[in-house]
Amino acid sequence: QKEVEQDPGPLSVPEGAIVSLNCTYSNSAFQYFMWYRQYSRKGPELLMYTYSSGNKEDGRFTAQVDKSSKYISLFIRDSQPSDSATYLCATPGSSASKIIFGSGTRLSIRP
Partner 1 sequence: DTGVSQDPRHKITKRGQNVTFRCDPISEHNRLYWYRQTLGQGPEFLTYFQNEAQLEKSRLLSDRFSAERPKGSFSTLEIQRTEQGDSAMYLCASERLAGAGEQFFGPGTRLTVL
Contact 61, 74 (CB under 8 A): yes
CA distance 39 to 42: 5
Determine the interface stretch with partner 1 among 52-60, 64-72, 73-81, 99-107 (rule: CB under 8 A): 99-107
Using the rule CB under 8 A, give the single segment among 12-20, 41-49, 52-60, 76-84 that binds partner 1.
41-49
Q: How far is CA 16 from CA 12, 21, 69, 77, in A?
A: 12, 16, 29, 7
Binding segment for partner 1 (CB under 8 A), chosen from 13-21, 42-50, 59-67, 70-78, is 42-50
29 binds partner 1 (CB under 8 A): no
Q: Is 47 exposed, middle or buried (0-12, 13-18, 19+ CB in 10 A)?
A: middle
Beta-carbon count within 10 A of 21 CB: 22
Question: Is the Cβ of residue 88 or residue 109 nearer to partner 1 in the bound state?
Answer: 88
Site for partner 1 contains 73 (CB under 8 A): no
Out of 49, 60, 67, 108, point to the residue binding partner 1 (CB under 8 A): 49
Which residues in this chain contact partner 1 in the complex, by CB under 8 A?
4, 6, 8, 32, 41-46, 49, 88, 90, 92, 97-104
